[in-house]
Copies of this chain bind each other. A is one copy, B any other.
């Protein structure tokens, strides 16, 4: 099982009954994808008095949907937690992240939900420095809940933590995302890779700024993606012209 999940279990085992349901292997970049057409299986990995661990053949969100549907009929969980992911899920990565997908799914089901990620892509990050932060945030959310439709995206920087910042999502862009290779059989194929650029590196209120300056970044994240400010502008579009005129 993923080391980040084991770390979370270890950090939270004394606080609550834990139900773990996670994909049976890495699912990087799965976002909010669910399996609309594939049959799925669940396998019990471990069952103790206060801990159940299940492995799911599907996506991160499939795992949450299945766990809620199959194991939580009598009691809605107090929290849904995604992570701890190896690699940051700040800025636009929010949209690609399966860890955030899990967390958005919990939030869409009105369950207080938090994602934890660390800016360390190595096989074995040191999760230990995260422990007091994870425990503090989980305590807070269990005690006070979160506003309806809002979940937390928590990212930890590399190195020593200088403190915590409540952030907004930075505007950033992935570029050079595709590398073309030649298959021995003579056709081209592509790997998705890419580099990330923070498009507002001087903005100190962003998650990217916090992380590059050694701060833990907490970004409250919403399910409602309506661009309210743009609504008024669109209301000026004259759709009376539509009928037959274009």
Contacts and interface: CB of A to CB of B under 8 A. Distances in A.
Q: Please classify how large the interface on chain A is, using the bins under 10, 10 to 19, 20 to 34, 35 or more.
A: 35 or more
Contact of A42 (B101, B140, B190, B241): B190
Stoichiometry, as copies per complex, reads 2
A246 B143 CA distance: 14
Interface in A94-149: 94-96, 101, 104, 108-110, 132-133, 135-136, 139-140, 146-147, 149
B189 A147 contact: no
Contacts of A66: 178, 190
Given A39-B191, A42-B190, A169 B225 contact: yes
Contacts of A94: 225
Interface stretch (A1-9, A45-53, A78-86, A226-234): A226-234
A235 interface: yes
Given A42-B190, A180-B70, A225 B231 contact: no
Contact of A227 (B147, B174, B189): B147
Interface string A157-201: 000000110111101011011101100000111111000000000
A202 interface: no
Interface of A: 26, 28-37, 39-42, 58-59, 61-62, 65-66, 69-70, 92, 94-96, 101, 104, 108-110, 132-133, 135-136, 139-140, 146-147, 149-150, 152, 163-164, 166-169, 171, 173-174, 176-178, 180-181, 187-192, 218-231, 233-235, 237, 239, 241-246
